[in-house]
Structure 1
């Protein structure tokens, strides 16, 4: 598995209430997407970004980071082979990504995601 990018996932009670802190104060000026329960804000200048979520639409708990990989199926197979706890099974989600959640040693839940070509 090759990791292409890791994005912090911050849980907030209200996306709209939190938005101005990250856009106005931190200067993350581009809303890449907003699904109502998760939104990503990015600086056009630097590429720095963060994802805000109120909860996860299909997963049983919110992840702390999203790990974008070039081969999510291979990442899933390796996680299973290594005996890591799968918190959310490998799923093709309605919004177009393929992902699973895995619990890392120490308890953090990671959203491992692949985007179709």
Structure 2
């Protein structure tokens, strides 16, 4: 698996309330997307970014990070072969990503994802 980006997924109670702090105080003023339950904000100057998450639309747990890869199917096969716990199966989601959630040996849940072009 080749990782192309890692994004922190920060659990928040309310996107709008959290948005004010992270866009104002941290300067993450570019909203890349907002699905109502997850939104990504980026600094136009540095490219630093994070995702604010209130819940997940289809998975049973929130991930700590989202890991973008160029081959999510191969990553899924590798995770299964290694015997890692799959928290959310490989799925093509209605909002246009293909992803799965895997639990690291330390208990951290990762969202391994490929965005369709």
- Counterpart residue number, 2:99: 99
Tell me by how many angstroms 1:69 deviates.
0.2
- Counterpart residue number, 1:80: 80
Ranges in structure 1 where 5+ consecutive residues have no aligned partner: none
Tell me by how many angstroms 1:114 deviates.
0.4
Q: Deviations over 1:67-98 (max 9, x none)?
A: 00000000000000000000000000000000
Tell me by how many angstroms 1:112 deviates.
0.1
Q: Deviations over 1:3-23 (max 9, x none)?
A: 000000000000001101100
Q: 4+ residue stretches of structure 1 with deviation over 2 A?
A: none
- SS of the residue aligned with 1:36? coil
Between the aligned partners of 1:74 and 1:44, the Cα distance in structure 2 is 33
Ranges in structure 2 where 5+ consecutive residues have no aligned partner: none
Structure 2 matches for 1:104-115, cutoff 5 A?
Answer: 104-115=104-115
Structure 1-normalised TM-score?
0.99
- Counterpart residue number, 2:52: 52
Structure 2-normalised TM-score?
0.99
- SS of the residue aligned with 1:22? helix
- Give the number of equivalent residue pairs: 117
The RMSD of aligned alpha carbons is 0.5
Between the aligned partners of 1:105 and 1:30, the Cα distance in structure 2 is 34
